Amino acid sequence: MRKHYSVLWLPVVIYICTVQVGVVSAATDWEPEDIINWEAHSFEGNTDYRLISTTEQNQLEQSHILATCEDGQASGMFYRGEIDLAETPMLSWEWKVNQFPDVGNEREKDGDDYAARIYVVREHSILRWRTRAVNYVWSQQSEIGAIWPNPFAKQAHMIAARSGKTESDQWQTETRDLQADFENFHGQVPDKINAIAIMTDCDNSNSSSSASYRRIRLHARDAE
């Protein structure tokens, strides 16, 4: 993401907080056909998000979102809505990396580009500065499970949900306990979240990156 705090973090908070919706208490399941209709939001240029559908000519590949970033772009696809984590605390998703960005130290501001990331945001309804986020990334440099503060904003924590280029071109499934992660990284157990987003960016490195996203769902701990 771009090198200025106001570009990285504040627009995310403002963007997410512009609408209020009802609480969703059932498991929420998004297929690629749903994700492509999430709201696009640009931070620097526009990452290309495209629905690749299963067709008669493409029967071996399930439908997915193909995200392509070129020449310093950074934009995401956002779902905004209050989701009850008491009912659905687990987040699962499928992703793969087609091309990693050319970065230096990905834990520093000028290296904060990732081929694939999933944002989860918990909004504070009155004190916007108390909004918190967890950012699951496919890291090139950190081991799976590594955590570090976002280089632009202390309200966001980065987690290496997947790491390295080994089998990066194959579909991988991740599952995270959102309440446990927010408690570990922010010292609070949220009863709800307010937004989920996917993003492929390359604005700091001014290089190129690409990833594919498939099913994203929130579900109970005992659900497969």
Are the C-beta atoms of 68 and 47 separated by less than 8 Å?
yes
Share of the chain above pLDDT 70, in %: 82
The CA distances from residue 120 to 59, 63, 131, 136, 194, in Å, are 32, 23, 11, 8, 8
Quote the CA–CA distance of 21 and 40 in Å, as a whole number: 18
How many residues are listed for the chain in this entry? 224
pLDDT in tens, 107-166: 998 889 999 999 999 876 544 556 889 999 999 999 999 999 988 877 889 999 999 999
Whether the CB-CB separation of 178 and 190 falls below 8 Å is answered with yes
Could you tell me what percentage of the chain is helix, strand and coil, using 3-state DSSP and rounding each to the nearest 5? 15, 45, 45
In angstroms, the first-to-last Cα distance of the chain is 34
Task: Assess whether pLDDT exceeds 50 at residue 20.
Answer: no
- What pLDDT score was predicted for residue 3? 44
- CA 42 centroid distance within chain: 14
Mean pLDDT is highest, among 14-18, 27-31, 215-219, for 215-219
State the Cα–Cα distance between residues 148 and 83, nearest whole angstrom: 26
How crowded is the C-beta side of 133, counted as CA atoms within 13 Å?
A: 27
Domains within the chain, CATH numbers bracketed: 5-219 (2.60.120.430)
Instruction: Provide the token pair at 6.
Output: 């106001």
Asked whether the CA dihedral 105, 106, 110, 116 is positive or negative, the reply is: positive
50-87 pLDDT, tens digit per residue, is 999 876 556 667 899 999 999 889 999 999 988 999 98
Q: How far is CA 217 from CA 79, 91, 202, 224, in A?
A: 12, 6, 26, 11
How confident is the model over 154-186, as pLDDT tens digits? 788 999 999 999 999 999 999 999 999 999 988
